[in-house]
Chain A
Amino acid sequence: MTGEEIRQVVLDILERIAPDEDLSGLDDAMAFREQMELDSMDFLDIVMELRKAYRIQIPEDEYEHLTTMATTVAYLEPRLKDVPVAG
């Protein structure tokens, strides 16, 4: 997957977790939590959705990389570069 594809995957996950949020104006450089109502339960679900779709294990001490869209994509890019977008 390319960075752009990964960004879309994360957007789809956010859409699924928080369907009542308007994500069209999401600022990639700003923390998710500052732009949407995400509590720790929702946050954990981002990790679990990624695991479910791409079998990627994210250890707890690396959750900090998932703060903004930009940092999330940067963190996932090397880990998902040989993985195709899931159907």
Chain B
Amino acid sequence: MKYDTVIIGAGMSGLSAGVRLAYFEKSVCILERHTTIGGLNSFYRLRDRNYDVGLHAITNYAEPGTKAGPLSKLLRQLRMRWEDFDLRPQLQSKVAFPGCVLNFTNDFNCLLNGIAEAFPKQIDGFCRLLEKINEHDALDLNRKSVSARKVLSEHISDPVLIDMLFCPLMFYGSATPRDMDFSQFVIMFKSIFYEGFGRPFDGIRRILKQLVRHFKSLGGHLKLRAGVQEIVQRNGQANSVILDDGTEIEAKNVLSSAGAAETMRMVDPTQPVSRPSPGNISFVESISVLDCEPSDLGHNETIVFFNDADKFHYERPNAPVDLRSGIICSPNNFDYSRPLEDGRVRITALADPEYWISLSEEDYQLRKMEWNDRIIEVAMNHIPDFRGHVLDTDVFTPRTIRRFTGHDNGCVYGAPRKFVDGQTSVDNLYLCGTDQGFLGIVGAMLSGITIANRYLLK
């Protein structure tokens, strides 16, 4: 049989695109190399406990029933219900820099008042920046790239405030070091500061399972352990894909969420010079399971974005891990009606992919534990000492991300250069997800939907 569309990757973007296509009766098959779904945001079981791969928080929070905004848009497009996602709002988060803290919640006024208090001279400029953000059409697929640092410096003169605004937005959605494209800045600003954070009680598995159930009930096919080795062209058109085990699957269109460089390598494995280059922003994450809730120790924040240096550095570090800044997330600190099974603290910091990927297996295990301790040590500036309460620990690195998602360099936000219109040099081969340009969980889902609508529902 020849499918209307074959989708490479069962992550957030591929599954969402699949739902759209299957809902409108296109024959569609999602091919996933890994043994499970989810990609960069999957879930696993380790020593009898459930873990999420990535999930700190889902951005773009909205109260159930809200009629506008990205979350409502994607639920409508997928014909899913608010209950399917079961999102609970965050308690409160903060950006903590030396001598200065800005709190924020899902109510934007909290941040606004905080800035007025901590940066009284900057508040007028900040309000002008808000006007600029509000009138910017960040979803214009034909947009031109503008430096966000340049735009911010036209409105705000205090470099500390600029860095404090960039810190969470870069950590949660910048593929580029040091600066962001202004449109991406606007998307992230709205999704984190205007809309805020939420999390399903059961974590990401809740959303993934609903998506897959929905996709299958609409007649979509999903094949796991089905890595695509090659995209075969005939007369300049993608015509079929060949799997790792040699099976050939024919399709009228191919939609790939594997990344731009990774996808073009499937088209032409002989390394053409013009191949897009992958990014190199990646992270190490330390996950501690506690015998109590973080709040029992006095830690009530949902997420803390910290930076202990004079300036905030968002770039590939020269050390295995950049200990100057990071993210501390407590999945327990959302507004649930009952407590989670156990206490959790996740600490994330920038890491050098090359270092982690090139270690020998034995060395790798050792270094992982060593850096885990060091990451936790620096986080102690921002969270009460929980080390006496740790029941279990897991650590992942760029190497883990590469192994399970196939992204070069274990890169989380994809290549610095995005393919916003989703097109490639091959006519009927499209990109969605990370390298198309909408980042994060909600971004990836919208990306799959947008590209499916634009090219594959005709």
A37/B68 in contact, CB under 8 A: yes
A9-34 interface with B by 8 A CB criterion: 16-21
B72/A20 in contact, CB under 8 A: yes
The answer for the CA separation of A54 and B453 in the assembled complex, in Å, is 20
Encode A48-59 as 1/0 by CB contact (under 8 A) with B: 100110000000
Assuming A16-B79, A41-B73, A41-B77, is B65 touching A52 (CB within 8 A)?
no
Complex contacts, A18 vs chain B, CB 8 Å:
67, 76
The answer for the CA separation of A48 and B73 in the assembled complex, in Å, is 16
Pick from A19, A21, A39, A48: contact of B457, CB under 8 Å: A48
The answer for the CA separation of A16 and B76 in the assembled complex, in Å, is 8
Pick from B25, B65, B77, B457: contact of A20, CB under 8 Å: B65
Assuming A41-B453, A48-B457, is B73 touching A21 (CB within 8 A)?
no
A16 nearest CB neighbor, chain B only: B79
The answer for the CA separation of A50 and B66 in the assembled complex, in Å, is 26
A49 nearest CB neighbor, chain B only: B24
Complex contacts, A41 vs chain B, CB 8 Å:
73, 76-77, 453
State how many residues of chain B have any CB contact under 8 Å with chain A: 14
A44/B453 in contact, CB under 8 A: yes
- The smallest C-beta distance from A60 to any residue of chain B, in angstroms, reads 11
Q: Give the interface centre of A20, A36, A37, A39 by most chain B CB atoms within 10 Å.
A: A20
Encode B20-44 as 1/0 by CB contact (under 8 A) with A: 0000110000000000000000000
Complex contacts, B25 vs chain A, CB 8 Å:
52
Determine whether A77 belongs to the interface, using a CB cutoff of 8 Å to chain B: no
A20/B453 in contact, CB under 8 A: no
Complex contacts, B77 vs chain A, CB 8 Å:
41, 45
A21 nearest CB neighbor, chain B only: B67
Say whether chain A's binding surface is mostly helix, strand, loop, or mixed: helix
Determine whether B81 belongs to the interface, using a CB cutoff of 8 Å to chain A: yes
B65 nearest CB neighbor, chain A only: A20
A20/B67 in contact, CB under 8 A: yes
The answer for the CA separation of A17 and B72 in the assembled complex, in Å, is 11
- The smallest C-beta distance from B370 to any residue of chain A, in angstroms, reads 49
Pick from B24, B68, B76: contact of A17, CB under 8 Å: B76
A48 nearest CB neighbor, chain B only: B24
- The smallest C-beta distance from B107 to any residue of chain A, in angstroms, reads 21
The answer for the CA separation of A24 and B17 in the assembled complex, in Å, is 32
Determine whether A5 belongs to the interface, using a CB cutoff of 8 Å to chain B: no
The answer for the CA separation of A41 and B76 in the assembled complex, in Å, is 10
- The smallest C-beta distance from A36 to any residue of chain B, in angstroms, reads 8
The answer for the CA separation of A48 and B67 in the assembled complex, in Å, is 21
Complex contacts, A44 vs chain B, CB 8 Å:
453
- The smallest C-beta distance from B18 to any residue of chain A, in angstroms, reads 16
The answer for the CA separation of A45 and B78 in the assembled complex, in Å, is 11
A39/B81 in contact, CB under 8 A: no
Assuming A18-B76, A39-B73, A42-B76, is B66 touching A52 (CB within 8 A)?
no
Complex contacts, A36 vs chain B, CB 8 Å:
67
- The smallest C-beta distance from A27 to any residue of chain B, in angstroms, reads 17
Complex contacts, A16 vs chain B, CB 8 Å:
79
The answer for the CA separation of A73 and B24 in the assembled complex, in Å, is 23
The answer for the CA separation of A45 and B77 in the assembled complex, in Å, is 8
- The smallest C-beta distance from B412 to any residue of chain A, in angstroms, reads 27
- The smallest C-beta distance from B330 to any residue of chain A, in angstroms, reads 31
A17 nearest CB neighbor, chain B only: B76
- The smallest C-beta distance from B319 to any residue of chain A, in angstroms, reads 45
The answer for the CA separation of A20 and B73 in the assembled complex, in Å, is 11
B66/A20 in contact, CB under 8 A: yes
The answer for the CA separation of A45 and B79 in the assembled complex, in Å, is 11
The answer for the CA separation of A42 and B67 in the assembled complex, in Å, is 12
Complex contacts, A52 vs chain B, CB 8 Å:
24-25
Encode B445-458 as 1/0 by CB contact (under 8 A) with A: 00000000100010
The answer for the CA separation of A48 and B25 in the assembled complex, in Å, is 11
Pick from B24, B68, B81, B453: contact of A19, CB under 8 Å: B81
Complex contacts, B67 vs chain A, CB 8 Å:
18, 20-21, 36-37
B141-183 interface with A by 8 A CB criterion: none
The answer for the CA separation of A67 and B445 in the assembled complex, in Å, is 29
Encode B170-199 as 1/0 by CB contact (under 8 A) with A: 000000000000000000000000000000
The 9 closest A-B pairs by CB, nearest first: A37-B67, A20-B65, A37-B68, A20-B67, A48-B24, A52-B24, A17-B76, A18-B76, A52-B25
Q: A18-B67, A37-B67, A41-B76 are known contacts; what are 5 more A-B pairs with Cβ within 8 Å? A: A17-B76, A20-B72, A37-B68, A41-B73, A48-B457
B: residues with CB less than 8 A from A are: 24-25, 65-68, 72-73, 76-77, 79, 81, 453, 457
A: residues with CB less than 8 A from B are: 16-21, 36-37, 39, 41-42, 44-45, 48, 51-52
What are 10 A-B pairs with beta-carbon distances under 8 A? A16-B79, A18-B67, A19-B81, A20-B65, A36-B67, A37-B72, A41-B76, A41-B77, A45-B76, A52-B25
